[in-house]
């Protein structure tokens, strides 16, 4: 069952992947092993594909470095729930095909280490007896996510969604 890794408010891109562990510094095949190296050492070894990341407010503030969310994708993260997102991080998630859900209520209801079920397409999260409905991302983004990522969408259609 997917487990919840919960972080606080204002988690920045230096927290998610410190600059010195960028792919061009440590190698394209290794950089994801340094995810949360300062904030939560051992994360990359502990996390399993399908696990759920949960953040508080203004998730992913800071740099435009797409290799921060890309490291999470490499580790098998398919969705994130946050109270709110920083703009560039939100874009990067969509572009990579990680679904960015936004919900104060669900973030507050989840604890680090919880085991949950998440239906990505249906936007339903189940924790024990409780089921939460997650609001889907805006239509433009959903259209891109349907093809996997914005990159995949553009590759297939030769245009941006809605054009």
Positions in the binding site for other proteins (CB under 8 A): 10, 12, 14-15, 18-20, 22-28, 38-39, 57-58, 61-67, 69-70, 84-88, 91-92, 95-96, 140, 149-151, 154-155, 160-163
Which residue, 67 or 132, has its beta carbon nearer to other proteins?
67
Q: Within 13 A of 12's CA, how many CA atoms are on the CB side?
A: 6
Determine which helix (DSSP H) or strand (DSSP E) holds 124, and give its type and residue range: strand 124-127
CB of 120 to other proteins, least distance (A): 20
- In the complex, minimum distance from the CB of residue 130 to other proteins, in angstroms, rounded to a whole number: 28
Helix axes 150-157, 87-96, angle to 10 degrees: 50
User: Contact at 8 Å (CB) between 96 and 145?
Assistant: no
| SS3 assignment, position 119 | strand
Cβ proximity to other proteins, 6 vs 57, nearer residue: 57
Question: Tell me, what DSSP letter sits at residue 159?
Answer: S
> Which residues make beta-bridge pairs with 100?
80
Closest to other proteins by CB, 124 or 160? 160
14 or 114: CB nearest other proteins? 14
């Amino acid at each position: 069952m997917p487990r919840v890794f919960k972080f606080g408010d204002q988690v920045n891109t230096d927290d998610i992947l410190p600059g010195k562990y960028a792919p061009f510094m440590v190698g394209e095949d290794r950089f994801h092993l340094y995810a949360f190296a300062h904030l939560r050492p051992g994360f990359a070894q502990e996390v399993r594909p399908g696990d759920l990341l949960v953040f508080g407010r203004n998730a992913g503030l800071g740099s435009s470095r797409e290799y921060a969310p890309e490291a999470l994708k490499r580790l098998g993260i398919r969705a994130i729930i946050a109270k709110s997102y920083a703009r560039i991080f939100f874009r990067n998630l969509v572009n990579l095909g990680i679904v960015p859900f936004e919900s104060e209520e669900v973030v507050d209801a989840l604890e680090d280490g919880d085991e949950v079920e998440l239906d990505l397409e249906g936007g339903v999260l189940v924790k024990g007896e409780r089921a939460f409905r997650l609001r889907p991302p805006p239509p433009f983004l959903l259209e891109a996510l349907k093809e996997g990522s914005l990159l995949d969408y553009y590759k297939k259609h030769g245009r941006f969604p809605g054009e």
